[in-house]
Amino acid sequence: MHLHEQGYDAHYYDEDVVGNNGAGAAYDEVVSAIQDRGVTHVAIYGHSHGGGSTHDLAERLNANRAGIGTFTINVTVYVDAIQNDSDFDNDSELRFPPSSGHHMNYYQPNGLLHGGIVPGADNLDVTTTQWGQNLDHKTIDNNGTVINAVRDRIIQQMSQP
Amino acid sequence: MKPIIFSVLIIFSAASMGICQTVEIEPDPTVQKKIDEMALRLIHASTQVEVEESLEVLRQFEQTQNDKTALMRQVLYYLRHGANTEDRGYGAMVLFNKLDVDKPARVRAALSYLDAQDADSRKIASEVMGTVDSPEGKALITVCIENFFALR
């Protein structure tokens, strides 16, 4: 909502909208934004399987960029990301999103579903902080500090040339 | 060429009547209750001790279930009808992943939902099929044929 109010061409999707090859309505929307609405800077973020879909979408956009047009993926964000090869995928998403200019990764390491360190990213284990020490996979995406940090980082990185 | 084509047709015909048979999933209230308890326990396990305890409970439950296809059908029914909260959804996702059920049993269970009336059930079936096909790059029909020969 805040991003909309600031004039961003923002869209929200269920992670299943992104196939494990990155194809789907979210990909089509980004391509449409670049080709039809003059968008040149892209940000992608997601929690849990949405983090895995963030990787898959960035990967497809990067692979097809020659046919899409001119754009940069300024920033991507994982929040306790899980790979999304299927609805039953439990693997932590630890791959850096291809061609992302800046990757923020907030995760917690406990339980059977958790993210982890992504090489090359700005990583934070939230359980090492006072505000996030009790967060788990189910609650991390609803935490106000996490939400604000993601929003602020996206706005900061999208203002970069 | 004709005998070869004929043989292939026999295989597909048998597969469609046997291995790939669609059946209605009837919920077993006792098993559904147990799956629900385990799904919540798995997703609420935070410490390593809790994780190991929850997995041990799952192993013990599995040992009481001789028919893995029937067990998987109950899990699919739970995914469709029982996993109605965020906790239960995540828990069921972990439970499915941790169950020691082989691919043929997964396929047989998923076939129960392949031509279901509602899209959510068909999506569950499709996702289960995906867990069978993806790791080794085999097409589903290959798995069906392999199952057919394995059970002859």
Q: Enter the DSSP assignment of A24.
A: B
* Contact status of B98 with chain A (Cβ, < 8 Å): yes
Helix (H, G, I), strand (E, B) or coil at A99: coil
pTM as predicted = 0.84
Q: Where are the domains of chain B?
A: 2-151
Q: Give the percent of chain B with pLDDT over 90.
A: 49
pLDDT higher than 70, residue B1: no
d(CA A70, CA A120): 24
CB A53 within 8 A of CB A84: yes
Strand A122-125 with A103-107, pairing: parallel
Model confidence over A25-58: pLDDT tens digits?
999 999 999 999 999 999 999 999 999 999 999 9
Contact assignment for B45 to A87 by CB distance below 8 Å = no
pLDDT higher than 50, residue B8: no
**Entry field: residues in chain B:** 152
d(CA B93, CA B39): 8
Q: Which of A71, A76, A69, A72 lies closest to A97, judged by CA?
A: A76
Contact assignment for A113 to B46 by CB distance below 8 Å = no
d(CA B71, CA B25): 11
Model confidence over B91-130: pLDDT tens digits?
999 999 999 998 888 888 988 888 788 888 888 888 888 7
* Contact status of A142 with chain B (Cβ, < 8 Å): no
Model confidence over B12-39: pLDDT tens digits?
433 344 444 556 788 999 999 999 999 9
* Contact status of A139 with chain B (Cβ, < 8 Å): no
Contact assignment for B97 to A88 by CB distance below 8 Å = yes
Model confidence over A61-117: pLDDT tens digits?
999 999 999 999 999 999 999 999 888 999 999 999 999 999 999 999 999 999 999
Strand A103-107 with A72-79, pairing: parallel
How close, in Å, is residue B31 to chain A by CA atoms?
20
d(CA B34, CA B61): 8
* Chain B residues near residue A24 by CB distance under 8 angstroms: none
* Contact status of B93 with chain A (Cβ, < 8 Å): yes
Which of A48, A85, A112 should one mutate to test binding to chain B, selecting the residue with the greatest count of B CBs within 10 A?
A112
* Contact status of B64 with chain A (Cβ, < 8 Å): no
Q: What was the pLDDT predicted at B31?
A: 96
Helix (H, G, I), strand (E, B) or coil at A44: strand
Model confidence over A110-148: pLDDT tens digits?
999 999 999 999 999 999 999 999 999 999 999 999 999
d(CA B10, CA B12): 6
Contact assignment for B45 to A137 by CB distance below 8 Å = no
* Contact status of B39 with chain A (Cβ, < 8 Å): no
Degrees to nearest 5, angle at CA B83 with B93 and A13: 70
